[in-house]
């Protein structure tokens, strides 16, 4: 199928052609005719499928009759409103609107928080047919009476599930109450949770359901690797992987702002060209960092989930989950930053033993086995393991010369009843159960017989002075 056959205005097709797209993606092929026919749409499209153009192109086509070059604000009322959950997505959708609408005299304004309101107010006062907004800042403008939404004909709720996750439901309902009842509503969401269904029942008219991929499915063009790595070695493993795969552009996701800051600082120290974005950075700095990453001048972007949605970097080849997200759906969105629009990508997750629960949830959601494998290019791992095991060996030997040692483990000939579970405090405040064989003869002697991986994981505790209760 070609774009020509969709019946879009020639000036829109010209802009699409300039973007280098030759044929519509599945969500575009299915949604564009339905939107052009005036129907409401519930779009279930996973990230990276081209859903922005799926609503923007027909929206521009429908607004095209209103395009005019008059200077009067009265000739440019708000006709289309696009709501997005994050500032980044807002900026990105705005960029798509201006790209696809560049040959039409339609005006567009982006309205999001964290930046000065004044330029937005001025732009809204001059008049703007299309407003792309985050809910909170839009309501600020409503309050300040700098925007009138009474002539909106098309409403788009982009990444609606995310907006609800972020607690925008009341804001959205308030905004919906300000719009004319007779309008076209397009709702796009990666998932159709019950709240989304409720929203659609309350505010949409017999919407056409368009789903182009299985819900919560991960993009098949993304190869997923999961490597076992404990928190203490993750940074070194990451640095090794960046070099091993020769990653020239990679997003690394962390769970917290604090970790994003720390990791970015440490990677900089390791010599990587790296910056962090998260909610505590000013909007200006977030936009600048994203721009540098997109134009290729920044190699490593460390981000919290604030950037997991919406961020679109052409042909981003790598995504790394430094920590698995607590919300399994975020895994799908994070790795959806790569392998976009038919390109292939690699998503690597570093999984610590304390992340088993998140991993189980991700496996359940994606329906994939997601096997945890060893880090490729062994040296870093072997080096880590050896440097971590050496002190353990030395510690053991210093406490109990090998020749005098009693057999402790079942494999060594010890009795199973000699094996007890003891709880050992770990450095990061976590507590964990160790299998320890307690020798009856040598009071106070403790031997741990972990597999090499477990030893590496629990080394910090082993280096602490023993604080165990000795079995009778």
Contact set with ligand AMP (CB under 6 A):
21, 24-25, 28, 47-53, 312, 314, 340-341
How many helices and strands (H and E) does the chain possess? Answer: 16, 17
Query: What distance, in Å, lies between the first and last C-alpha atoms of the chain?
Result: 78
In the bound complex, what is the minimum distance in angstroms from residue 393's beta carbon to ligand AMP? 52
The pair of three-digit structure tokens given for residue 363, joined into one six-digit string: 């496996």
Which residues does residue 42 pair with via DSSP β-bridges, in sequence order? 187, 209
Q: How far is the CB of 318 from ligand AMP (least distance, A)?
A: 16
Strand partners, 226: 349, 372
Distances from the Cα of 386 to the Cα of 1, 237, 393, 459, angstroms? 57, 14, 10, 12
Residue among 13 and 459 whose Cβ is closer to ligand AMP = 13
In the complex, minimum distance from the CB of residue 103 to ligand AMP, in angstroms, rounded to a whole number? 17
Full DSSP string of 321-361: ESS--SSHHHHHHHHTTSSGGG--EEEEEEE-GGGHHHHHH
Nearer to ligand AMP, 332 or 462 (CB): 332
| Rounded distance between C-alpha atoms, residue 126 and residue 67, angstroms | 15
Q: How far is the CB of 203 from ligand AMP (least distance, A)?
A: 23
Task: Pick between residue 96 and residue 121 the one whose CB is nearest to ligand AMP.
Answer: 96
Q: Which sign does the torsion angle of CA 359, 364, 365, 368 carry? A: positive
Q: Which is nearer to ligand AMP, 308 or 436 (CB)?
A: 308
Nearer to ligand AMP, 28 or 249 (CB): 28
Using only C-alpha atoms, the chain has a radius of gyration, in whole angstroms, of: 28
Kindly tell me the burial class for residue 309, based on how many C-beta atoms sit within 10 Å of its own C-beta (0-12, 13-18, 19 or more). buried
Least distance between ligand AMP and beta carbon 16 (Å): 7
CA separation for the pair 354, 452 (Å, rounded):
17
- In the complex, least distance from residue 344 CB atom to ligand AMP, rounded to whole angstroms: 14
Give the residue with the Cβ less far from ligand AMP, 142 or 313: 313
CB of 93 to ligand AMP, least distance (A): 8
Nearer to ligand AMP, 220 or 371 (CB): 220
């Amino acid at each position: 199928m070609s774009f020509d056959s969709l019946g879009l205005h020639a000036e829109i097709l010209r802009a699409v052609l300039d973007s280098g797209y030759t044929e519509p993606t599945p969500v575009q092929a299915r949604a564009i005719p339905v939107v052009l026919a005036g129907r409401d749409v519930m779009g279930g499209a996973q990230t990276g499928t081209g859903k922005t153009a799926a609503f923007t192109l027909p929206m521009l086509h429908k607004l095209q009759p209103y395009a005019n070059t008059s200077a009067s604000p009265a000739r440019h009322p708000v006709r289309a409103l696009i709501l997005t959950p994050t500032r980044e997505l807002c900026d990105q959708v705005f960029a798509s609107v201006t790209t696809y609408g560049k040959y039409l005299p339609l005006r567009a304004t982006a309205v999001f928080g964290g930046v000065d309101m004044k330029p937005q107010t001025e732009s809204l006062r001059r008049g703007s047919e299309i407003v792309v907004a985050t809910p909170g800042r839009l309501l600020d403008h409503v309050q300040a009476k700098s925007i009138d939404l009474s002539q909106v004909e098309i409403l788009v709720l982009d990444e609606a599930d995310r907006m609800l996750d972020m607690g925008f439901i009341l804001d959205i309902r308030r905004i919906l109450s300000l719009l004319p009842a007779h309008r076209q509503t397009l709702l796009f969401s990666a998932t159709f949770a019950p709240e989304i269904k409720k929203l659609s029942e309350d505010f949409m008219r017999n919407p056409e359901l368009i789903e182009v991929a299985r819900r919560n499915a991960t993009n098949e063009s993304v190869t997923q690797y999961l490597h076992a790595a404990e928190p203490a070695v993750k940074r070194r493993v990451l640095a090794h992987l960046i070099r091993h795969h020769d990653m020239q552009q990679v997003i690394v996701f962390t769970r917290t702002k604090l970790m994003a800051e720390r990791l970015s600082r440490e990677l900089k120290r390791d010599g990587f060209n790296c910056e962090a974005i998260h909610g505590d950075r000013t909007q200006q700095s977030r936009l600048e960092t994203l721009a540098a990453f997109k134009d290729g001048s920044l190699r490593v972007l460390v981000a919290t989930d604030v950037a997991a949605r919406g961020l679109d970097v052409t042909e981003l080849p790598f995504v790394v989950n430094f920590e698995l997200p607590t919300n399994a759906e975020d895994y799908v969105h994070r790795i959806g930053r790569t392998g976009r629009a038919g390109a292939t990508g690699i998503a690597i997750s570093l999984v610590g033993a304390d992340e088993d629960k998140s991993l189980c949830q991700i496996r359940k959601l994606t329906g994939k086995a997601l096997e945890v494998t060893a880090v490729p290019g062994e040296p870093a791992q072997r080096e880590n393991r050896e440097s971590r095991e050496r002190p353990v060996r030395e510690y053991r030997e210093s406490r109990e010369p090998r020749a005098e040692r009693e057999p402790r483990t079942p494999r060594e000939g010890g009795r199973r009843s000699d094996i007890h579970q003891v709880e050992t405090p770990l450095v990061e405040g976590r507590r964990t159960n160790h299998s320890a064989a307690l020798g009856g003869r040598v009071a106070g002697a403790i031997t741990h017989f972990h597999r090499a991986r477990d030893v590496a994981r629990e080394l910090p505790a082993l280096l602490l002075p023993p604080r165990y209760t000795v079995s009778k």
